[in-house]
Amino acid sequence: MISFVWAEDQKHQIGYKGHLPWRLPADLAHFKEVTMGHPMVMGKKTFDSFPGLLPRRQHIVLTHDTNLEEKYKDNPQVEIMNSIDELTSWLDENQFQEVSVIGGAMLFNLLLNKVDKLYKTEILSEFNGDTVMPTINYDEFKLVSKKIGKVDEKNKYPYVFLEYERK
């Protein structure tokens, strides 16, 4: 099963200069909860935005960067894929319970027809961004969970956790 995990603002922005445009610790905790124990598929920019490798999750990075491939060649927590065909074959061959696609926009777009589940954090504010989430046809999905987040000192923006499953 392939899931998408992301947060977006009211303008569907998901990134700005290689990072999230907001600070929302509750969303980071939610991300950790839904990706823990699952392989995470990402592009190089998303991988580069991390402070380091995330524990108890395999990092599958789609990139042509041979330096990255060399750097992680002996690290079982990181696997480099050089093409969407290689990634698609890997997804077809490895029947994981769940694989989390976490960005960026190009990867979401490439796998849009394969996704089974959506974990969306909708941030009810607008931010400066340079990366937009591809359009998803929500008619193909059923909303199975909606949880309104708590605004507090650390989480200053209203937000909602939404979970969808393909019909």
pLDDT, one tens digit per residue, over 17-73 is: 999 999 999 999 999 999 999 999 999 999 999 999 999 999 999 999 989 999 999
The CA distance from 108 to 57, in Å, is 19
- Is 163 a domain residue? no
Q: Is residue 149 part of a domain?
A: yes
Residue 159 inside a domain? The answer is no
CATH of the domain at 122: 3.40.430.10
pTM for the whole structure: 0.96
Q: What percent of the chain has pLDDT over 70?
A: 100
Query: Using an 8 Å Cβ cutoff, are 134 and 112 in contact?
Result: yes
What is d(CA 17, CA 101) in angstroms, rounded to the nearest whole number? 20
State the pLDDT at residue 118: 98
CA nearest neighbour of 80 among 72, 88, 92, 90: 72
Domain membership of residue 96 (yes or no) is yes
Q: Establish if 164 belongs to a structural domain.
A: no
Residue 162 in any domain: the answer is no
The secondary structure of 91-102 as a DSSP string is HHH---S-EEEE
pLDDT of residue 35: 97
Domain carrying residue 144: 2-154
Q: What confidence category does residue 97 fall into, taking pLDDT thresholds of 50, 70 and 90?
A: confident
Look at residue 165 and tell me if it is in a domain.
no
Question: Residue 53 falls within a domain, yes or no?
Answer: yes
Share of the chain above pLDDT 90, in %: 95
Mean pLDDT of all residues belonging to the chain: 96
Number of domains observed in the structure of the chain? 1
56 within 8 A of 100, measured Cβ to Cβ:
no
